[in-house]
Amino acid sequence: MTSLWTLVVKFESNEYRKLLSKANVELRRCGSGVSILSWRGAPDERYWKSLGLARLFETVWVAAELSSNRAAVSELFGSLSAEYGSVIDTQRNVDCYNFLINTCIQYYGFPVLNLLDVGCGDGLILRASAARSIRIVGYDLSAEIARVAQSRGLEVLSDAEFFSGAEDFDAVVGCYSMHYFVEPYSTIGFVSKHLKHAGVWAMNFHKNIMFDRFMGCLEGAEMRRIADFETNFGRVLVAGRAL
């Protein structure tokens, strides 16, 4: 079990003050009204839950009201940019990427030549064998972690480029990113703009977190469900532009 944990709470909140009063807690980073703390030593999950925190990754706990907050998620991943590979299960994520890309190929019906990875993190998709011979472009909320992805050879969209798609991708994937999905209506709309008319978006929902909320946003964003099914990576949803 790790001896270092990351806790994310609102700056100057009661939870922030209670945690910072602990001798084994240090302030790691503040920004956008969010405080990112390091907890050293044995975990105290019961205490964290009593403060309204929930597990996001194996070693990361986040206040419930911040779990889908754009600024909070951006700050969190910025703080993890240098060590992102150590807080995720790398091989499981690569396996999931392969599954999602192959799902896109199956449902698209045409060769997938251009693919967008929403929530690309540090560029792990480049290690997926199914990504070979496909032009892969990423996008991430955190500019810091996006720079890491770029340094590893992944082409990454800026915010402006992501917000102004022009039917330029055959497919989109969301790998282990949907459980902290933020601003669902607008984000689904941005992805829709990037998809070609018959394009598909394949994504997994870890432990089904956010699935119902996402489904409730699809119709308003002019997207439709094509298929969904249970997998070893959680529920996988395949969506496309509304007909």
Spans of all domains in the chain = 4-80, 90-241
Please give the pLDDT value at position 2: 57
pLDDT per residue as tens digits for the range 22-62 = 999 999 989 888 999 999 999 999 999 999 998 877 788 99
Please give the pLDDT value at position 58: 75
**Which CATH superfamily, name and number, covers 90-241?**
Vaccinia Virus protein VP39 (3.40.50.150)
Q: Are 206 and 231 in contact (CB under 8 A)?
A: no
Extract the tokens encoding 94.
């690569």
Question: In Å, what is the CA distance from 61 to each residue of 49, 146, 148, 200, 204?
Answer: 9, 22, 23, 32, 20
Q: Are 225 and 137 in contact (CB under 8 A)?
A: no
Q: What value does the mean pLDDT of the chain take?
A: 91
pLDDT band at 165 (very low <50, low <70, confident <90, very high): confident
pLDDT band at 1 (very low <50, low <70, confident <90, very high): very low
> For residue 61, which amino acid is it?
W
Regarding predicted confidence, which is higher, 38 or 221? 38
Q: Is the pLDDT of residue 17 over 70?
A: yes
Q: How far apart are the C-alpha atoms of 206 and 77, rounded to whole Å?
A: 18
Burial of 114 (0-12, 13-18, 19+ CB in 10 A): middle
* Total-model pTM: 0.82
> For residue 228, which amino acid is it?
D
**Percent above pLDDT 90 for the chain:** 66
Mean pLDDT of 66-70: 78
